[in-house]
Protein backbone atom coordinates (compact mmCIF):
# COMPACT_ATOMS: atom_id res chain seq x y z
CA UNK A 1 0.00 0.00 0.00
CA UNK A 2 2.83 2.42 0.79
CA UNK A 3 6.16 2.68 -1.02
CA UNK A 4 9.34 4.70 -0.79
CA UNK A 5 10.93 3.73 -4.09
CA UNK A 6 13.63 5.96 -5.59
CA UNK A 7 11.54 6.66 -8.67
CA UNK A 8 8.48 7.56 -6.70
CA UNK A 9 5.35 5.55 -6.77
CA UNK A 10 2.29 5.76 -8.90
CA UNK A 11 2.46 7.95 -11.97
CA UNK A 12 5.15 10.48 -10.99
CA UNK A 13 8.91 10.49 -10.64
CA UNK A 14 10.45 12.40 -7.73
CA UNK A 15 14.15 13.32 -7.66
CA UNK A 16 15.17 14.68 -4.24
CA UNK A 17 18.19 16.99 -4.22
CA UNK A 18 20.05 18.55 -1.30
CA UNK A 19 22.43 21.43 -1.83
CA UNK A 20 24.57 21.44 1.31
CA UNK A 21 26.16 24.88 1.05
CA UNK A 22 25.12 28.24 -0.36
CA UNK A 23 26.67 28.42 -3.83
CA UNK A 24 26.31 24.69 -4.53
CA UNK A 25 24.59 24.18 -7.87
CA UNK A 26 22.89 21.69 -10.10
CA UNK A 27 24.70 22.55 -13.32
CA UNK A 28 22.83 23.67 -16.41
CA UNK A 29 20.92 20.88 -18.13
CA UNK A 30 17.79 20.38 -20.23
CA UNK A 31 14.86 18.00 -20.36
CA UNK A 32 12.58 17.31 -23.30
CA UNK A 33 9.53 17.80 -21.08
CA UNK A 34 8.17 20.33 -18.57
CA UNK A 35 8.77 19.63 -14.88
CA UNK A 36 8.03 21.17 -11.51
CA UNK A 37 10.63 21.77 -8.81
CA UNK A 38 9.53 22.18 -5.20
CA UNK A 39 11.73 24.11 -2.75
CA UNK A 40 11.19 22.56 0.68
CA UNK A 41 13.98 24.26 2.65
CA UNK A 42 16.32 27.13 1.91
CA UNK A 43 16.38 29.28 -1.18
CA UNK A 44 17.52 28.95 -4.80
CA UNK A 45 18.34 31.09 -7.78
CA UNK A 46 17.24 29.59 -11.09
CA UNK A 47 18.71 30.68 -14.40
CA UNK A 48 16.85 29.35 -17.43
CA UNK A 49 17.77 29.82 -21.08
CA UNK A 50 15.06 29.09 -23.61
CA UNK A 51 15.57 27.47 -26.99
CA UNK A 52 15.46 30.97 -28.50
CA UNK A 53 18.35 32.13 -26.27
CA UNK A 54 16.18 34.28 -23.98
CA UNK A 55 17.41 34.18 -20.37
CA UNK A 56 15.14 34.35 -17.34
CA UNK A 57 16.19 34.32 -13.68
CA UNK A 58 14.15 33.84 -10.54
CA UNK A 59 14.66 33.42 -6.82
CA UNK A 60 12.51 31.01 -4.84
CA UNK A 61 12.47 30.69 -1.05
CA UNK A 62 10.82 27.75 0.73
CA UNK A 63 8.06 26.93 0.66
CA UNK A 64 7.88 27.50 -3.09
CA UNK A 65 7.73 25.79 -6.46
CA UNK A 66 8.48 26.65 -10.07
CA UNK A 67 7.89 25.20 -13.52
CA UNK A 68 10.76 24.60 -15.94
CA UNK A 69 9.59 24.39 -19.54
CA UNK A 70 10.80 21.70 -21.93
CA UNK A 71 14.06 22.37 -23.80
CA UNK A 72 15.11 25.17 -21.41
CA UNK A 73 18.63 24.89 -20.08
CA UNK A 74 18.38 25.54 -16.37
CA UNK A 75 20.81 25.84 -13.49
CA UNK A 76 19.70 25.80 -9.86
CA UNK A 77 22.00 27.44 -7.29
CA UNK A 78 21.52 27.34 -3.52
CA UNK A 79 21.35 30.73 -1.83
CA UNK A 80 21.30 29.18 1.65
CA UNK A 81 22.95 26.19 3.33
CA UNK A 82 20.94 22.96 3.55
CA UNK A 83 18.59 23.73 0.68
CA UNK A 84 16.31 20.84 -0.28
CA UNK A 85 14.47 20.68 -3.59
CA UNK A 86 12.53 17.94 -5.34
CA UNK A 87 12.08 17.72 -9.10
CA UNK A 88 8.75 16.11 -9.98
CA UNK A 89 7.53 14.89 -13.36
CA UNK A 90 5.50 12.22 -15.09
CA UNK A 91 6.99 8.87 -16.03
CA UNK A 92 7.83 8.66 -19.75
CA UNK A 93 8.63 6.18 -22.49
CA UNK A 94 11.71 6.53 -24.72
CA UNK A 95 9.39 8.28 -27.18
CA UNK A 96 8.48 10.89 -24.56
CA UNK A 97 4.93 9.65 -24.05
CA UNK A 98 3.59 10.05 -20.51
CA UNK A 99 2.82 6.70 -18.87
CA UNK A 100 1.30 5.71 -15.55
CA UNK A 101 4.16 3.52 -14.29
CA UNK A 102 7.96 3.60 -14.32
CA UNK A 103 9.17 2.10 -17.61
CA UNK A 104 12.73 1.31 -16.61
CA UNK A 105 14.02 3.91 -19.09
CA UNK A 106 16.46 5.96 -16.95
CA UNK A 107 17.20 8.55 -19.64
CA UNK A 108 13.69 9.92 -19.09
CA UNK A 109 14.93 11.10 -15.72
CA UNK A 110 18.33 12.63 -16.44
pLDDT reading at 22 higher than 90: yes
Determine the average pLDDT of the residues in 26-34.
Answer: 87
In the DSSP assignment, the letter for residue 23 is T
In this structure, the number of other CB atoms found within 10 A of the CB of residue 37 comes to 22
pLDDT of residue 2: 43
Say if CB 30 and CB 73 are below 8 A apart: yes
Query: Which CATH number is 102's domain given?
Result: 2.60.120.10
Query: Is residue 22 domain-resident?
Result: yes
Any domain includes 4: no
Asked if residue 3 belongs to a domain, the reply is no
What are the phi and psi torsion angles at 108 (to 5°)? -65, -15
Show the domain range for 91.
Answer: 14-109
For residue 37, is pLDDT > 90? yes
The answer to whether residue 32 sits within a structural domain is yes
The pLDDT tens digits of the residues spanning 43-82 come to 999 999 999 999 999 999 999 999 999 889 999 999 999 9
Please give the model's pTM, rounded to 2 decimal places: 0.83
Amino acid sequence: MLTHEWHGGGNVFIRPNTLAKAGDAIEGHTHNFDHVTIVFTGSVKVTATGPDGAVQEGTFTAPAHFLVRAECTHQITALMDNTTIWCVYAHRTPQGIIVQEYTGWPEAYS
